[in-house]
Amino acid sequence: MKIKTTGALGAVLLPMLLGSTAVWAAPAHKFMVSGLALKISPAEKNDPVVSDNPLLPNPTGLDLGADSNTLPALGLTYWLMDNIVLETYLSVPSNHHIAISGLEAYGINGFNQAASADLMPVTVFAHYLYQIPDTRFTLTAGAGLIYAIFRNIKVDEKVLTQLDPTLKFEANNSFGAALQVGAFVDITPEIVARVSYSTMMFSADATVKTATPFGNLTTSLTVDPDVFMAGVGYKF
């Protein structure tokens, strides 16, 4: 697992903490359910690919990448205090196509859709809320923990036909962290419109098992998706 560090969260949270006098006040609502649209955009980075073939231990130029996806989700929010909430999200698995590039140097065409995989990042956030005085706007900032689950990994038929009919792609589940900033806009005392941006930080050890001269290939795939979220919540 790779964790990036940033000072952005502290820069957002500190003025909120200093400007609030109601951190320990009893919340007016205890729960919120939100209908959301999520756009998940993984980073396209990986460590150098390593082969177990001693004649080709470090195939140069090979690269893996995953595409973006948009899906519906349900947000569940619980108020610990007036300004502190816990939140998680439920959604269908996010399916992503995995591309392999750099094969051209070895006389093989690359594959834009070499495989597909379902990504399920199980995430729990703790958020700080700051309501801007005399407005309907509430700013949010928080951090969370992630357990990223990869399921239903399938190799594309073109890869099996053109490269290796025995080829298999594997990715390990992994832990990570996340940061999020966003805003709520009160439409009524119970209904809010909401938007947020999250950066999730985790990597997955990936293995391509093949009977080709490349041997079995391994790398660490930096997933680190950016997640944009928008929707409507109901407080009760």
What does the pLDDT look like over 86-142, one tens digit per residue?
Answer: 999 999 889 998 888 887 777 777 788 889 999 998 999 999 999 999 999 999 999
Per DSSP, the chain holds a count of helices (H) and strands (E) of 2, 15
Considering the domain boundaries, does residue 71 fall inside one?
yes
d(CA 192, CA 177): 27
Does residue 5 surpass a pLDDT of 50? no
Considering the domain boundaries, does residue 81 fall inside one?
yes
Q: pLDDT tens digit string along 142-169?
A: 999 999 999 999 999 988 988 889 999 9
Considering the domain boundaries, does residue 48 fall inside one?
yes
- Give 139: exposed, middle or buried? Use CB within 10 Å, 0-12, 13-18, 19+: middle
Length of the chain in terms of residues written: 236
Where residue 57 sits, what CATH number does that domain have? 2.40.160.20
Considering the domain boundaries, does residue 75 fall inside one?
yes
Q: What's the pLDDT score for residue 56?
A: 77
Considering the domain boundaries, does residue 26 fall inside one?
no
Domain ranges, residue 147: 8-20+31-235
Q: What's the pLDDT score for residue 16?
A: 43
Q: pLDDT tens digit string along 27-55?
A: 677 999 999 999 999 987 788 889 898 87
Considering the domain boundaries, does residue 1 fall inside one?
no
Least confident of 6-10, 41-45, 54-58, 229-233: 6-10
The b/e string for 55-87 (b: 16+ C-beta within 10 A; e otherwise) is: eeeebeebbbbbbebeeebebebebeebbbbeb
Average pLDDT over residues 21-25: 42
Q: What are phi and psi of 12, to 5 degrees?
A: -85, -45
Does residue 61 surpass a pLDDT of 80? no
Considering the domain boundaries, does residue 86 fall inside one?
yes
More confident residue, 106 or 83: 83
Number of domains, the chain: 1
Considering the domain boundaries, does residue 2 fall inside one?
no
